[in-house]
Amino acid sequence: MIRTASFTRAFLETGLPVWLLFAALQVVQENRSPGIIVFFAPVWGAIRLTQPDGSSWKRLEYYVRFCLLHVAAMLVVMYAAGYVSYVAGAIPEPPSWTSFSTNTFLLLTMIIIPFVAVRGLLFLCDSSREPGFPAQSFSEERGERTRIFAFDAVRGWVMIFMALDHAMYFCYVHIFAEGFQNLRPDPLPDAIHYLTRFVTHYCAPTFIFLAGVSVALYGASRRSYMTEGRITRHLVTRGVLLILLQMVLVNWAWGFTIRAGQTLVYFGVLACIGSGLVILALIRRAPCSLVIIGSVMLLLMIPVLLSTFAVQPGADQPLLEILLQPDTEGWISSLYPILPWFGVMGLGYGVGVVVSRKPEKTTRVFLVLGIILLVSWILLRLGGGYGNLTVYQGGDWRDFMLMSKYPPSLVFLCWNVGGMALAIAVHNYFGRRLPFRRFWDSVVLFGQTPLFFYVVHLYLYRTLSLIPVLRGSLAAGYVAWLVGLMVMILLCRQYQRLQKAHPDSVLKYV
């Protein structure tokens, strides 16, 4: 055994002899990779490594990190030896950088992701730790903001649903169970596919509604030590940051870069929320009743505006597409126009103001809101006229539940915001009395790190789609979804710790 606790020394002492042998074989065999050594070297080194103090899991984590570093080093040696052989004239062609980078990425991914996924599962099932929800409050500057469990939990649930939708998108197919500009998916998918997509419809309405609630709670909790101008600047900065993240990071994950030689800009949900935050930050000092009435009136007027200002076929109308009409043709693609969704955010802000003033009435407020919206939904849906952009045509239950999401119809918003409101009321009523607390830890964790989760999970599921066993079928999509959630548990926990360790950094906007 190597009698040292130094990771670096152990790595070098066990690696150098094998690296040299590997490079020699690479040259002798004319760039044909002796792949077995890639796996043998790190295992041999890990066996000789002195075990660090700690639990068995800590030792295993130490060994995996050791093996991972060895594999990365061996791949670099493989490429370098091949290139040297080519320069020396020993082989006719240089090694392919594309092949090397692809193989490196896939190999490291297939080592890292299963390990992190198992670690996340163990965390979720860990009964040795003291049960309990994550901290419900934390200090920020000179004030104290108390997190409301129901909001974090419901937001966490829709993060989980959203991950399912995106796992299917990257690893299987994009399932359609909603209308788009009066167009219907033809034919409707079977029940299991339909429900897989249908449950994810809660995501965007919940994100946007709770964004409005968060603005109200943020302002109410900081007025004792922050000026109104400073609060406004913070909200505007966060809104602009969301738009930039959409354009710089999120669009890249979706693949919106160049299409048929034409630049394509995607105005997605982050850009919509960011734009809404900027507007709401500027009007939030208006009377709460005025904001609520204006938001409801805007939602009621959307069907009229949609029929009045229609997108002309084949014409680029970026302002209209960003503000009102979803469209995927031309140089800009917009699925979440500002005006329909700002009505949802404004309504959330008004409810947030009421809750901040009378927190003891949170359950009642959301229960009443949910009942009103769901009753309105059934009346509008059965009526089949105003508020139905995708009309019920007398088919089975899937046809009855087929509503327009792009743009959001009134029945779509009533169903999803109403269901969200009832979920918040239930979670707020039960609170800490819910069973399976370790499970709820993770749900709340996702709800407390939504922006980080959103950006990172897109790249994660795009990466998982490169693994053959995690793509190509509905079952594979579900497996990829679960694996991704286990990975996100660890990533979100690490990010939350980093955020709390640096409360005054740019991370406070993320």
Q: What confidence tens digit (pLDDT) does each residue in 173-190 have?
A: 999 999 998 889 888 999
Mean pLDDT, to the nearest integer, of 481-496? 92
Is residue 509 within 8 Å of 452, Cβ to Cβ? Answer: no
Q: Residue 133: what pLDDT?
A: 45
User: What band does 353 get if pLDDT is binned at 50, 70 and 90?
Assistant: very high
Which residues have a Cβ under 8 Å from the Cβ of 414 and sit 6 or more positions away? 373, 374, 376, 377, 380, 387
> With 60 as the cut, is the pLDDT of residue 120 above it?
yes
pLDDT band for position 26 (cuts 50, 70, 90): low
- Residue 166, pLDDT > 90, answer yes
Quickly state the pLDDT bin for 141 (edges 50, 70, 90): very low
Q: How far apart, in whole angstroms, are the C-alpha atoms of residue 411 and residue 401?
A: 10
According to the model, what pLDDT value does residue 97 have?
65
pLDDT band of residue 225 (cuts 50, 70, 90) is: confident
Of 97, 36, 66, 136, which Cα lies nearest the Cα of 445?
136
Is the pLDDT at 165 greater than 90? The verdict is yes
Which alpha helices (H) appear in 172-227, and where do they start and end? Answer: 191-198, 203-222
- Rounded average pLDDT over 372-401: 93
pLDDT tens digit string along 285-301? Answer: 899 999 999 999 999 99
pLDDT at 49 exceeding the cut of 90: no
- The pLDDT of residue 5 is 46
Crossing angle of helices 56-87/7-28, nearest 10°? 40
pLDDT confidence of residue 331: 82
Which of 8-12, 51-55, 257-261, 316-320 is predicted least confidently? 257-261
Is this structure's pTM higher than 0.85?
Answer: no
39 or 235: whose pLDDT is higher?
A: 235
Q: Across residues 253-273, what is the average pLDDT?
A: 76
Q: Which two tokens stand for residue 485?
A: 């959630």
